[in-house]
Amino acid sequence: MPKLTRRHFVVSGLTVLAFPRVRSAQTSSRPPNRPLAIASANRVTLPDGTVYYNGIRATERAIELIRAGSDPLDAVIAGVTLVEDDPNDMSVGYGGLPNEEGEVELDASVMHGPTGRCGAVAALRYIKNPSKVARLVMEETDHVLLVGEGALRFALSFGFQKEELLTERARQVWLQWRRERSERDHWMQNKLPGALRSAREGEEMPFTGTINCLAITEAGDIAGVTTTSGLAFKVPGRVGDSPIIGCGLYVDNDVGAAGSTGWGEDNIRVVGAHTVVENMRRGMSPREACLEALQRVVKLYGGRPPHQLNFYALNKNGEYAGAAIFKGAQFAVTDARGSRIEDSAYLFERPPR
């Protein structure tokens, strides 16, 4: 798809807001590109300095299973389980950064395109694979979302074991955050100080952490999963967009799928994943669909928002895209051409000062 050169506008009633020129990454233009898996891509730094992208592990595993005949939901859950199990990845699962009281609370959602069924858990403690518990909510109940202590009891009833999820590495980051707290913490959007650094290694740490993985089979069946440890040092019980169907994840087997990472509160306000899928239903490409949903967030603020938000999307043909409010976001792709990291399209060069 050619790079957009015109200005973008969102119209609501009599209000018209102009948006900056859109810079775009490449989007697949050779449908059908199936099977295909895409995922968010956080950089993970090991203690020895080795760097890898968690999303590549997820997409490669998902495609491996799809090619072996697995259901796409089984495949994407297996992909993100690798990330949930990784103690070096502080964005999800075991080793995820904790809430303000030092307790790890996990959220996840799953959605299966062929059946339209979905399941989710939120504020789940002591269970390192919330994506697997979310699938059980979908398969074993007629509910969609279980939270907190009820979600934990549900997981234990199916044989999951309670585990301490706070690793020493994540604990050291939390302890440093506690030492550097101020009156600016923790109840307003500017609550996070500039101290998200590991006390031992000194590297900068993201204050949000999520992985979304979407996949489509050769036959055109689609599934998705989003799993997260949420906003670092959050108020206990805070739930972001990841476990909310239609916000952090949405799948329609006739159209496509979308998911999100970044500042969840802003995404909830625009019901982002559902909005992206509905945009694709109306004929937009995945890139256009993601950017239009991001522009809705910009409209809420009347200009550049203070936080990053990312969308990922694929459609029935296997066209795909990632898009973000600010430059620098990337995502993982695995398809017939192999595995790679691609740059997301974006609306702005940098956040407001």
Which residue do the tokens 């074991």 mark? 161
| Region of residue 128 (left: phi > 0; alpha: psi -120 to 50; beta: else) | alpha
Buried b (16+ CB within 10 A) or exposed e, 72-88: bbebbbbbbbbbbebee
In the set 59, 81, 210, 261, the catalytic residue is 210
pLDDT number for residue 182: 59
Of 295, 272, 351, 278, which is closest to residue 9 (Cα–Cα)? 295
The pTM of the full predicted model, rounded to 2 decimals, is: 0.87
pLDDT number for residue 194: 40
pLDDT number for residue 183: 53
The answer to whether residue 275 is catalytic is: no
Which residue do the tokens 């301490």 mark? 164
The answer to whether the beta carbons of residues 324 and 346 sit under 8 Å apart is: yes
- The CA R_g of the chain, rounded to the nearest whole Å, is 19
The answer to whether the beta carbons of residues 145 and 121 sit under 8 Å apart is: yes
Residues in the chain: 353
pLDDT number for residue 80: 98
pLDDT number for residue 32: 86
pLDDT number for residue 208: 60
pLDDT number for residue 178: 85
Strands 43-45 and 222-228: unpaired
Which residue do the tokens 């898009």 mark? 323
Residue 196 phi, psi (nearest 5): -80, 70
**CATH 3.40.640.10 correct for 32-318:** no
Residue 230 phi, psi (nearest 5): 75, -165
Rounded CA-CA distance 220/188 in Å is 43
In order along the chain (353 residues), what is the average pLDDT of each group of 10 residues? 35 34 42 92 87 95 98 98 94 94 97 98 98 98 98 98 96 87 51 37 52 98 97 93 98 98 96 98 98 97 93 98 96 98 96 80
Of 227, 294, 248, which is closest to residue 80 (Cα–Cα)? 227
